[in-house]
Structure 1
């Protein structure tokens, strides 16, 4: 690997990271994308609501993205990143970063973009993980059409579950809200019943499957079973932000799910030269939203590099 610093290292090769890389390589920047090879939506066979790519495999989209980045001279490597540190150019005070891989290899860049996404923490429900991304999903806009008019169950996993279950009623008249013995406010119950949504208060025990291995319903604690064609839930989103916080990026409570790294509209963090885009800073970013954030971040990073090059030239 070359010793001269890269213009930009991007950690994370999902839609945000690759979109940023594409902007930067087309601006004739030398870009390295480091990707662990385990995209969050890799469990899904199709993605929806992506203009011009509706129904595509998310893995196919990423493969096309890697090819496009490489076409303009960008480099995409499968590698795990162990850590990163800020390094300053003593000659001009410009920011820079050193990234260390799990192999021990050390790489340097003038700017760093982190697009490492998030991980979904599922509720402790036996059988759920086996159907995650297929029969059990999170987004009504991504998967509601495919189960329209079928039997849908929604698990009460947090405050946003009430909104989620009301959304799902848009796609089917057969929707059941499984509260797992959680108490609901009278007004919330009235709103559910007004829309024809069934409320199941008993504790859940497991997700069931048919002989072909497809999700078939939920078994409750009293051993009764409710037949279903799909389950929607809201897993707890946990950002993969260790690189960002390790570099000192400022965090704050956000999205109702703990602390998240704050960024400006371009993805710039509180650390000079450090950007972030996609699910690592926005749990609600779908594929097109994450790609748009990466696009914006790529352009902003290029502009930031230009400003630095002007300062260095004037100082010289």
Structure 2
């Protein structure tokens, strides 16, 4: 059973179905990247909408004999040599092996209007969105330890970039020198809200009344993987190497195996930095390792 019908889960399910395994994908239909106009850096599929990519993936799973079950997994327990998973509608599904690919949640700064525009002109990944906002006025909203890093990185896509310190401290002297050397202005003060006119981002309004113009905003969300299924099975999330402020994921071996026998992970649920194509590739690799375990188990 695969819980999570994103790129990692669908790629894994297709690989398992092509290996003549009986596989069902449980998916609640709420992909993380749904607001984005297109998927990028996915060879041959650049610009495809997230919805179209997932629809094609579901078609591939079913074409090889797998199935996709709409629903949300809310609980799990071990049962003999396998697992029992309970869905929100009360149904219970049994499986010999369990692969969780439920991704993560982006926790955004508490700024009015930010969530509504996330994935459009409020972005977090330069490789996902940098090309689309190139040459425009970009404001980096510092809300954690990655603010200066993001400002220096996004500077590659524009000559007009400002770092808003928001709730973070002023950059340390060495950081300030890096910013100055790259022509990045620093504006201190808490950001109160976005300024939008005719559904177009015009800038941000600070709590002290000042306005800073921009066409796009870069944020560093806290990325959190959370799964009642994994919690029930005894797997606990761990902090990113840079700290809990960056995010939390569930631990797994490079193969995707976990400390719980028969439980596997792939994609953002265990890797905060995995882009769509990375998560899809991980799904294939983990499915291959999982299949080998079943082969050896007989």
Range into which the TM-score falls when normalised by the shorter chain? over 0.9
Q: Distance in 2 between matches of 1:150 and 1:237?
A: 26
- Look up the match of 2:131: 145
The secondary structure found in structure 2 opposite 1:263 is coil
- Look up the match of 2:176: 189
Name which one, 1 or 2, has greater alpha-carbon Rg.
Answer: 1
Segments of structure 2 that go 5 or more residues without pairing to the other structure are none
Deviations 1:219-249 (A, max 9, x none): 1122221111100111111102331122012
Q: Distance in 1 between matches of 2:123 and 2:239?
A: 26
In the alignment, is residue 199 of structure 1 matched against residue 186 of structure 2?
yes
What's the CA shift for 1:255? 3.7
Correspondences of 1:30-45 after superposition (within 5 Å) = 30-45=22-37
What is the CA RMSD across the aligned residues, in angstroms? 1.2
Correspondences of 1:1-316 after superposition (within 5 Å) = 9-88=1-80, 95-180=81-166, 182-210=169-197, 212-249=198-235, 251-258=237-244, 259-309=248-298
Q: Distance in 2 between matches of 1:43 and 1:253?
A: 27
The secondary structure found in structure 2 opposite 1:253 is strand
The secondary structure found in structure 2 opposite 1:23 is helix
What's the CA shift for 1:252? 3.6
What's the CA shift for 1:251? 4.4
What's the CA shift for 1:179? 0.2
TM-score by length of 2: 0.96
What's the CA shift for 1:81? 1.1
- Residues 245-254 or 258-267, more deviating: 245-254
The secondary structure found in structure 2 opposite 1:266 is coil
Q: Distance in 1 between matches of 2:149 and 2:240?
A: 18
8 Å CA contact retained: 2:226, 2:237 = no
TM-score by length of 1: 0.90
What's the CA shift for 1:51? 1.1
Q: Distance in 2 between matches of 1:224 and 1:15?
A: 42
Q: Distance in 1 between matches of 2:92 and 2:122?
A: 40
Segments of structure 1 that go 5 or more residues without pairing to the other structure are 1-8, 89-94, 310-316
The secondary structure found in structure 2 opposite 1:218 is strand
- Structure 1 runs, 4 residues or longer, greater than 4 Å off: none
Q: Number of aligned pairs?
A: 294
